[in-house]
Every structure is written in structure tokens, then in C-alpha cells.
């Protein structure tokens, strides 16, 4: 899939959906009498679910000690800095080392989130209900990690390093309830880490033509993630984790970041397994396009090239607004019809020949990460138009045919017919959502798995998440982000999107155990699932996660072939 300056673009609805993070509001029990000192016991009293004490959950890092808290037996740390602040003169520069601290640092709540564009979902009541947004407190001192661990005991547990979605311009490590790592840590006896990093104009503005100090500016958002992984390498053993067994996993834009890290020399050796969830688009800007965007932003700000230093002084919102205005002027209007029309320019890493030597997974899987096993997949419906629009459920067959013909021309009839053979008795709106999901997400996932398998080294495993939520009369179906609560074993925590209760929890056990086993040994198989073969291009084995989970030969193979043969104006501007 191509779109102007990129080879395959991620899609932005909320800039590739993120959601809200909120803890399951269990109140801490504290017994501090008036005028008396608090207890220093690190053991919970009867019925106590949270222990917050100066003597509890203290771990050493290379910069100094940090203190978290214990919730339901899981050691929890939030907002730990992994690199220095990026404010002022540090804007647009590679992440710098932390200055050590001497006293124990309180690390009990999330740190700042990167300042970013307004989320489109804020104006959508149903999407906000499903996602329960928690966008945190924005600030440029945002290079922070959160850690959940069963114990600070020196045991070498697998480390699962979560990278949030939102394309490369939005999101945070706390934005969805599903991101909370406590249940996954407990279920798998693993250490879970989530991360904030620079986004949008702060993380990917190419100023390399404005002075040698900016040589890496187009990719500092990715270098932040490298710095966070270096923090894991240097510190996670003090949190009960194994720095020699780190799995990076991310959804949507987070999956795109996983894919990018697999191509970066600076990231080599910092992780050992990789999971890409609805994020297999091969995404990278060309240097000339980055230069065009930067010039447009400078013009919006009324700055000459010699005034580049002013960028360090302007309010951050001014920079964000200038980026939005510049992109609007440089990108053509979206084309009508089914599917997604992608802007010509989007925030993304830049192929600079050094930090990012090539477009990730294009034309082949990167040799630098050939030894890294992969788990790759998508959701069935992804961006379903009926999710927040009940009228879309009323789409007629004639409307579907007209819409499909506008995108796929004279092959539209065969495409719709083939889709109905695979998925009988589905509504026209479901056909529309499935075709869009294949064109934008599924084809990229298959292509990535094929290129990984072609290396003949580490395996790839392919899945499709097909479970449909009952929430909102079932209209969202298997939507973009819907698998995340199942991966984290958080279907009750995320009941606004799953409905909660025993059915999603039972599937969550199967899904989360697959991710845990993959993190532990590079193979997602476990007894509660049918045998899951590694991917090969001849047989296309796919694990279908649903009420009944089963392995099938890729059911959409013929349909994908038809789509590939058809003209696809929705793939690019």
C-alpha cells in the first residue's frame, strides 16, 4: 500500500485509535492516626489491596532508587524517568542521560504524556464510551516508563514491553484501561513495562538541514524508545525481570513502532521477540518529504531558516498547531468511497540511512532482526463505520455495490460475492468493514508474515481476532483495539468495550496465555488452544480467536488476491 511519501501508511482516525487508561478504582486502605507515624510494614493487612509505604516496593536504578506501591500483590511503579527532560534546548535532540538523584524518588503515578494533537474521538460519544480516554497530563518531560512485577526478588522473568498506539502523533502508556499491566503480570509471572515517548512535531520533525545538532531530529521519537529499552536492559533485573528475554509488543501505531525498531541498528540486542497487532503497515518518510513539511511548518510560524533556534522557545502548542496547519495545506482532500484515504504526509520515522537505514520490511524483512520471532495479526472489522453510527447498519445492497464499485471498479461484484462466500449472511456494512480491514491492515499483516517467513530463520505466527463485542448492540464488532483487553487479561477492567463477564474472560485466558508463552519461549502454543503452526506462505495457517478458537488456512486468501488485482484509489492520495 502506498501513499505519497510512504510505503504503506497507517490510518489515523484518532491518529490510530488509542483509548483511556483508568485503574480499577480500588481505594487504598491506610491506617495513619492523627499525630501518629504511619506503619512501615510492607505486608498488607487483612483485606488490604494496596500497600503504599516508604518501606515498600523500593527498587534501585542506575539513576537512583524509586518507590512504587503494591496492589493485589503486584509491585507497581509509574512515571519512572528513563532519560532527561526534552524541554527547551533539548527539544528535537536525541534523548540524553538522566542526572542521578540521591533520595528515593516517589514513582506511584503516571508521568507526563507527550503534548499532541487533539484526539478526533473526543467528539464522538460512543467512541469515548468504549475507550474511556485518559490522556493524562501533557508535558515535555515525558520520557517515562511504568513497571508491574510479581516480586522484586532477583528472579529472571520474561519482560513484556508495551508500546502504545496513536500512529506516531498521539497516545500514551496510560490511555486505555487495557494497558494496565497488573493482571497480565500476575497471570504470566512476567514483568510488564509501558512507555511514553515524543510524538508528532516533537518526535519526528526533520531539522537535519538546519544544523548538525539536528542530524537525528527526524527520528528522536524512535530513539526515545531505544533509550527506554536501554533502561530496561540496565535496570529491569532489579524489578524481577530478565534483560535477556524482552518482548516488544504494540498495537496500531505501536505495532508500526515495533516494526520500525526491528529495522534500527541502535535497537539490536535490546529485545528478543516482537508482536505486531494491527500495525503491519511499512511506514517511513523520505528525507525530501520531511524537508517539505519542515519548510511548511517554519512558514506557518513565520520563521526563516536562520531562526531555527526560536523553535526551542515557542510554546509547544504553537508548534503542534503549525504542524496541523502545514499538513492540511500539503495534503490533498480525502477521496470519497469505501475505505481510508490517507494524507500525503503524516508524522512517521524518516529513512535517513543511519538511525533508520531502510523502509521497515520493504521490500524484505530486515536482516538485522532475522533472529527475532514474531507474532502478527489484526482484528476482523478494524474501523467499522457502524461502531458509532447506527444508521450505517441500514446500508443497502445497492449502496454497498455502489460504494465498492467506486473503489474497485468492475471487480466490485466479484469482490462482494467472494466476501459473502467467506462470511455468509453478513450485512452490507459488515462487508464494507471487512474489505477496508483487509485493504489497510490485513494485507499488510500477511505481507509482513510472508517476508519474515521467507528469511527461513526465526518463525512468525499469524492470528485474526474475530470476537465481536455485545456492547452497543454489537455494532462495533471486532473493532480496532478490541483485542487489547484480552491480551492484558483485562476484559473486566475494560468492560465498557467488552461487556465484561465470563465469556470475554474465558477468551482472554486463551489470548493472554498465548502472548505470555510467546514472550517466554517464542512460541504462543498452549494446551487451551488447538495446535498453532508457524506461518508459511504455502499453507497460511491463521489462529482465529473467537468464541471457538481454531486454526484455518487463511480464509481471506482469494479475497485478498482480488483486492490486489483491483484498482485501489483508497490506498493513497
pLDDT, tens digit (0-9, with 9 covering 90-100), for 245-263: 999 999 999 999 999 999 9
Spell out the residues 6+ positions from residue 90 whose beta carbon is closer than 8 angstroms to its own: 84, 96
Count Cβ neighbours within 10 Å for each residue of 5-29 and write b for 16 or more, e otherwise.
bbbbbbbbbbbbbbbbbbebeeeee
Quickly state the pLDDT bin for 334 (edges 50, 70, 90). Answer: low
* Beta strand residue intervals within 217-339, DSSP E: 241-251, 273-277
Site of grid cell 517467513:
453
Number of domains composing the chain:
1
End-to-end CA distance of the chain: 11
**Lowest mean per-residue pLDDT among 25-39, 52-66, 69-83, 373-387:** 25-39
Q: What is the mean pLDDT of residues 230-241?
A: 98
User: Which residue out of 164, 180, 272, 480 is catalytically annotated?
Assistant: 480
Predicted pLDDT of residue 33:
33
Q: What is the CATH number of the domain that holds 392?
A: 3.40.50.1820
- 505 lies in a domain? yes
DSSP 3-state helix, strand, coil percentages of the chain (rounded to 5)?
Answer: 35, 15, 45
In a domain, 312, yes or no: no
Could you read off the pLDDT of 487-515 as tens digits, one per residue? Answer: 999 999 999 999 999 999 999 999 999 99
Q: Is residue 411 part of a domain?
A: yes
Domain annotation covers residue 37: no
The answer to the question of residue 265 being in a domain is no
* Assigned C-alpha cell, 306: 536562520
Percent of the chain at pLDDT exceeding 90: 82
* Residue % of the chain over a pLDDT of 70: 88
Q: What is the pLDDT of residue 283?
A: 77
> Within the chain, what is the greatest distance between any pair of CA atoms?
81
Residue 553 lies in a domain: yes
Query: Tell me, what's the pLDDT at 135?
Result: 86
Residue 460 structural domain: 367-571
Instruction: State pLDDT tens for residues 208-227.
Output: 999 999 999 999 999 999 99
At 126-154, the pLDDT tens digits run: 888 888 888 899 999 999 999 999 999 99
Domain presence at residue 65: no
Conformation bin of residue 159: beta by default, left when phi > 0, alpha when psi is -120 to 50: beta
**Catalytic residue selected from 194, 252, 388, 433:** 252
* pLDDT > 90? residue 13: no
CB-side exposure of 491: number of CA atoms within 13 Å?
25
Tell me the pLDDT tens digit for each residue of 342-351.
Answer: 556 789 999 9
Q: Indicate the pLDDT class of residue 48, thresholds 50, 70 and 90.
A: low
Q: In what order do the strands lie in the sheet with 64-67?
A: 58-61, 64-67, 105-106
- Per this entry, what is the length of the chain? 573
Radius of gyration of the chain (CA): 23
Residues 6+ positions from 468 with CB-CB distance below 8 Å? 380, 381, 474, 476, 477, 478
**pLDDT at position 165 over 60:** yes
Q: 313 to each of 201, 215, 294, 439, how far by Cα in Å?
A: 14, 20, 17, 42
Confidence tier at 87 by pLDDT (50, 70, 90): very high
Residues 364-385 have a mean pLDDT of 96
Which run of H or E residues covers position 412?
helix 412-422
Select the more confidently predicted residue: 345 or 76.
Answer: 76
In the residue annotation, 382 being an active-site residue is answered as yes
Q: Which range among 17-26, 259-268, 448-457 shows the weakest confidence by mean pLDDT?
A: 17-26
Question: Which H or E run contains 193?
Answer: strand 191-195
Contact 285, 205 (CB under 8 A): no
Assigned C-alpha cell, 316: 509547544
Question: Which cell numbers in the block locate residue 426?
Answer: 453478513
What average pLDDT is seen over the chain? 89
Residue 514, in any domain of the structure = yes
Active site (annotated) includes residue 480? yes
3 state SS of 127 = helix
**What pLDDT score does 363 carry?**
95
| CA angle centred on 270, ends 265 and 274, rounded to 5° | 95
List, as own/partner pairs, every contact residues 308-317 make where C-beta atoms lie below 8 angstroms and the sequence separation is at least 24, other chains included: 308/207, 308/210, 308/211, 308/214, 311/91, 311/92, 311/207, 312/88, 312/89, 312/91, 312/92, 313/88, 316/115, 316/140, 316/202, 317/115
Maximum mean pLDDT: which of 329-338, 424-433, 561-570 = 424-433
Catalytic member of 182, 382, 430, 450: 382
Amino acid at each position: 500500500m502506498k501513499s505519497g511519501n510512504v510505503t504503506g501508511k497507517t490510518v489515523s482516525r484518532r491518529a490510530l485509535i488509542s483509548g483511556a487508561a483508568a485503574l480499577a478504582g480500588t481505594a487504598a486502605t491506610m491506617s495513619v492516626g492523627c499525630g501518629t507515624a504511619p506503619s512501615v510494614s510492607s505486608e498488607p493487612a487483612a483485606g488490604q489491596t494496596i500497600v503504599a509505604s516508604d518501606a515498600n516496593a523500593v527498587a534501585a536504578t542506575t539513576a537512583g532508587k524509586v518507590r512504587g506501591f503494591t496492589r493485589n500483590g503486584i509491585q507497581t511503579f509509574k512515571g519512572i524517568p528513563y532519560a532527561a527532560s526534552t524541554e527547551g534546548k533539548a527539544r528535537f535532540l536525541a534523548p540524553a542521560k538522566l542526572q542521578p538523584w540521591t533520595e528515593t524518588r516517589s514513582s506511584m503515578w503516571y508521568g507526563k504524556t507527550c503534548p499532541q494533537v487533539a484526539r478526533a474521538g473526543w467528539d464522538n460519544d460512543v467512541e469515548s464510551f468504549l475507550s474511556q480516554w485518559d490522556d493524562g497530563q501533557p508535558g515535555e518531560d515525558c520520557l517515562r516508563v511504568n513497571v508491574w512485577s510479581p516480586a522484586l526478588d532477583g528472579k529472571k522473568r520474561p519482560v513484556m514491553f508495551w508500546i502504545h498506539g496513536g500512529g506516531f502523533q498521539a497516545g500514551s502508556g496510560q490511555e486505555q484501561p487495557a494497558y494496565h499491566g497488573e493482571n497480565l503480570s500476575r497471570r504470566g509471572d512476567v514483568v510488564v513495562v509501558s512507555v511514553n515517548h515524543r510524538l508528532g512535531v516533537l518526535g519526528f520533525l526533520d531539522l537535519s538541514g538546519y544544523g548538525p545538532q539536528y542530524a537525528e531530529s527526524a527520528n528522536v521519537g524512535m530513539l526515545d524508545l531505544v533509550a527506554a529499552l536501554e533502561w530496561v536492559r540496565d535496570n529491569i533485573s532489579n524489578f524481577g525481570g530478565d534483560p535477556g528475554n524482552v518482548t516488544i509488543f504494540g498495537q496500531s501505531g505501536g505495532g508500526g513502532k515495533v516494526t520500525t525498531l526491528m529495522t534500527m541498528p541502535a535497537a539490536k540486542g535490546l529485545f528478543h521477540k516482537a508482536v505486531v497487532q494491527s500495525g503491519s503497515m511499512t511506514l517511513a518518510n523520505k528525507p525530501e518529504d520531511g524537508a517539505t513539511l519542515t519548510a511548511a511548518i517554519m512558514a506557518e510560524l513565520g520563521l526563516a531558516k536562520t531562526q531555527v533556534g526560536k523553535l526551542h522557545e515557542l510554546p509547544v502548542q504553537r508548534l503542534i498547531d503549525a504542524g496541523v496547519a502545514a499538513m492540511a495545506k500539503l495534503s490533498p482532500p480525502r477521496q470519497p468511497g469505501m475505505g481510508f484515504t490517507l494524507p500525503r504526509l503524516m508524522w512517521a520515522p524518516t529513512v535517513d540511512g543511519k538511525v533508520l537505514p531502510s523502509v521497515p520490511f520493504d521490500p524484505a524483512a530486515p536482516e538485522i532482526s532475522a533472529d527475532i520471532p514474531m507474532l502478527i495479526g489484526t482484528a476482523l472489522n478494524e474501523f467499522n463505520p457502524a461502531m458509532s453510527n447506527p444508521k450505517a447498519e441500514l446500508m443497502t445492497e445497492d449502496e454497498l455495490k455502489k460504494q465498492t464499485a467506486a473503489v474497485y471498479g468492475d471487480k466490485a461484484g466479484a469482490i462482494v460475492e467472494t466476501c459473502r462466500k467467506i462470511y455468509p449472511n453478513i450485512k452490507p456494512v459488515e462487508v464494507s468493514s471487512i474489505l477496508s480491514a483487509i485493504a489497510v491492515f490485513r494485507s499488510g499483516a500477511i505481507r509482513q508474515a510472508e517476508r519474515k517467513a521467507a528469511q527461513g530463520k526465526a518463525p512468525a505466527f499469524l492470528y485474526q481476532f474475530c470476537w465481536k463485542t455485545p456492547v452497543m448492540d454489537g455494532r462495533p464488532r471486532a473493532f480496532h483495539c478490541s483485542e487489547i483487553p484480552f491480551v492484558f487479561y483485562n476484559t473486566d477492567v475494560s468492560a465498557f468495550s467488552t461487556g465484561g463477564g465470563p465469556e470475554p474472560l474465558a477468551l482472554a485466558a486463551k489470548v493472554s496465555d498465548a502472548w505470555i508463552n510467546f514472550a517466554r519461549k517464542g512460541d504462543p502454543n498452549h494446551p487451551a488452544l488447538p495446535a498453532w503452526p508457524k506461518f508459511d506462505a504455502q499453507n497460511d495457517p491463521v489462529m482465529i480467536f473467537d468464541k471457538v478458537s481454531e486454526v484455518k488456512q487463511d480464509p481471506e486468501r482469494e479475497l485478498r488476491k482480488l483486492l490486489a488485482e483491483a484498482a485501489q484509489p483508497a490506498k493513497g492520495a
